[in-house]
Structure 1
């Protein structure tokens, strides 16, 4: 079981314990926050999608999906666009972005720029929100009824380093540490605040780092909808570390906005099917317990970062490259092995030249399998400190079984 505890002196503020299956997915979680404890259970269908959720032994979520991963409870068209959900109906632009949501006689409308970034939202009650986007498609500001209320400065493509007020003054600075998708500390009002987030990067507690006073507590459902927030807006982050918009309930992740109420993106994946999901509106293959997508691009590196508990996305991306290279080498090894087996089985029909080539290919491929597998494992942190010696294949051992397990789990999970 994995576990995490954050305390103020001898006073534990939050405690989590996780039980995982052979694929690294969380199947059980114990949680104690501010003295209140719960136990959760999770199960998955054969496609790896979240199926059931229990809290203290009672089922609180039971999910089923159509053939393309759309969650039952709504109606969809042939492009997987959500048409109805509960009492709400939805309409879309020609490019497939969510254009309006109508329910109970009230309509919220959305407008986008040429690149598909959400630019404006008009809510019932004459509330208009305008979003400012820079040349790198980052959200750098928000206007409420024409007045600039909030701004952001970034340290890179994804991570805000400071929050600004409408006059451009810095109201908060963010420090990243143990997680790559959400800050660990916030400096605001002359104080340093600890942002305690769960395994996905969803802030749960914001705490005065000196006194241990809890100034904000947030709770979410399994798809990221905010259930409770004791101090709205004290810090701007929400589910899985995205920028949470209190007015719309949407969460901004890189290139897109996510709607936790439906568990879907408001626009198609900008990289199309390269994101390895046949449903371009689907969020992390319908496994919101284990997976994250900080870029809004359904990238494999984000899945691996969540699956193995790593926040350095480049390392996870490198692991995929090495794992795929290892599998390619395995295929070459198997092909060469087939040629050698045929020669052993039928010496009279053996082509000597091809057999010699196959023997060399088999040896080279075997070396490549071990080398690439080891690099993949090292990137994932499974076997730190190990290194290959020369170009000779390593002997089969417990270490090799670990390597092969890492590679197979990595590639199976990203298919």
Structure 2
């Protein structure tokens, strides 16, 4: 399966259960998604496809799941715990996210889409999103965090991959 906009062609590969397994971007970057036996995305690997010899992909993120719907933690490429997520209300999006020494409250709408990320210690809005009816982010502002992909939740609480734009 693929898409093309005239200048770039992207290809998508899926397993027999319909889970995304690999995306090749128009620039040749490859994003591999690994799932566990329950169909949950547990790891993302990235790399490039040179014309002659493929280079090995490297792990960019690993997710540890609390249960079928809720992510409990994220590990970096070295396997170091970088993010913790706490769910108190029982939804698929956590209520609290901890990144290093900072604690944030994730504010969602009725669909479970994260709309605001607020620093608990001072109430500052760290990130804000707005979505259209199709789930496309129409407003995405990072106010105080270093990277845009600091939390993995997108439209309707799904796991969002910022490189591919897929939930």
Partner of 1:106: 8
How far has the Cα of 1:115 moved from its partner?
2.6
Secondary structure of 2:12 counterpart: strand
Do 2:8 and 2:27's aligned partners in 1 also have CA atoms closer than 8 Å?
no
How far has the Cα of 1:179 moved from its partner?
5.1
Which digits, 9 at most, give the CA deviation of each residue in 1:78-98, with x for residues without a partner?
xxxxxxxxxxxxxxxxxxxxx
Structure 2 length-normalised TM:
0.87
How far has the Cα of 1:164 moved from its partner?
1.1
Partner of 2:51: none
Q: Counterparts of 1:119 and 1:110 in 2: how far apart (Å)? A: 8
The partner residue of 1:244 within 138, 160, 167 is 160
Distance 1:179 1:155, change over 3 A: closer
Distance 1:179 1:135, change over 3 A: closer
Partner of 1:178: 89
Hey, which of these two has a bigger chunk of helix by percent? Answer: 1
How far has the Cα of 1:177 moved from its partner?
2.2
Structure 1 length-normalised TM:
0.36
Q: In the alignment, is residue 137 of structure 1 matched against residue 39 of structure 2?
A: yes
Do 2:44 and 2:60's aligned partners in 1 also have CA atoms closer than 8 Å?
yes
Q: Counterparts of 1:204 and 1:170 in 2: how far apart (Å)? A: 25
Secondary structure of 1:219 counterpart: strand
Distance 1:163 1:234, change over 3 A: same
Partner of 1:125: 27
Q: In the alignment, is residue 235 of structure 1 matched against residue 146 of structure 2?
A: no
Number of residue pairs matched? 153
Q: Counterparts of 2:166 and 2:25 in 1: how far apart (Å)? A: 13
Which digits, 9 at most, give the CA deviation of each residue in 1:293-352, with x for residues without a partner?
xxxxxxxxxxxxxxxxxxxxxxxxxxxxxxxxxxxxxxxxxxxxxxxxxxxxxxxxxxxx
How far has the Cα of 1:240 moved from its partner?
0.8
Partner of 2:54: none
Which digits, 9 at most, give the CA deviation of each residue in 1:125-181, with x for residues without a partner?
111100111122110010111111111000111211111111111111111123512
Q: Which runs of 5+ in 2 are unaligned?
A: 48-56, 143-147
How far has the Cα of 1:111 moved from its partner?
1.0
Q: Which runs of 5+ in 1 are unaligned?
A: 1-98, 252-415
How far has the Cα of 1:195 moved from its partner?
0.5
Q: Which has the higher contact order (CA 8 A, sep 6+)?
A: 2
Secondary structure of 2:44 counterpart: strand
Partner of 1:255: none
Secondary structure of 1:243 counterpart: coil
The partner residue of 1:197 within 108, 115, 131 is 108
Do 1:179 and 1:201's aligned partners in 2 also have CA atoms closer than 8 Å?
no
